[in-house]
Structure 1
Amino acid sequence: MDLDIRRAVLHNLSGNNKQQLQDTVIDAIQNGQEKMLPGLGVLFEVIWNKADSSFRDQMLTRLEQGV
């Protein structure tokens, strides 16, 4: 079975507004289910790919502080 998680996540969230995206992220984090982690990873990848080097550095600093 070949699943394209990236495509599925992006398809499911396509057309969502900021509030809907925020609700999705908050729900995934608060729910704490392992099955939500790949979807959050896809969202992180989208943010990373759209970020400039300054924003990437900020994210990495926050990750470093958080772990």
Structure 2
Amino acid sequence: MNLNLRHAVISNVTGNSQDQLEDTIVDAIQSGEEKMLPGLGVLFEVIWQNANEQDKQEMLTTLEQGLKK
């Protein structure tokens, strides 16, 4: 079985409103299920590919701060 994960995730959320997208992200995080991580990765990939350089820098700063112990 050849499953294209990127295509499946994007297909499932294409056309969703911002509220629906937020619900999808929040549900995936709150569930704590490892199987949800690849889908979140695909969504992050879409965000990254569509972000300008300033947005990317803000995301990197936020990520760096969130990973500090």
List alignment gaps of at least 5 residues for structure 2.
Answer: none
CA-to-aligned-CA distance 1:21-48 (integer Å, 9 cap, x gap): 0000000000010000000000000000
Q: Superposed, which structure 2 residues align to 1:2-41 within 5 Å?
A: 2-41=2-41
What is the root-mean-square deviation of aligned Cα atoms in Å?
0.7
Give the TM-score taking structure 1 as reference length: 0.95
Give the TM-score taking structure 2 as reference length: 0.93
List alignment gaps of at least 5 residues for structure 1.
Answer: none
- The alignment of Structure 1 onto Structure 2 pairs a total of residues equal to 67
Where in structure 1 do 4 or more consecutive aligned residues deviate above 6 Å? none
Question: How many angstroms does 1:62 deviate by?
Answer: 0.7
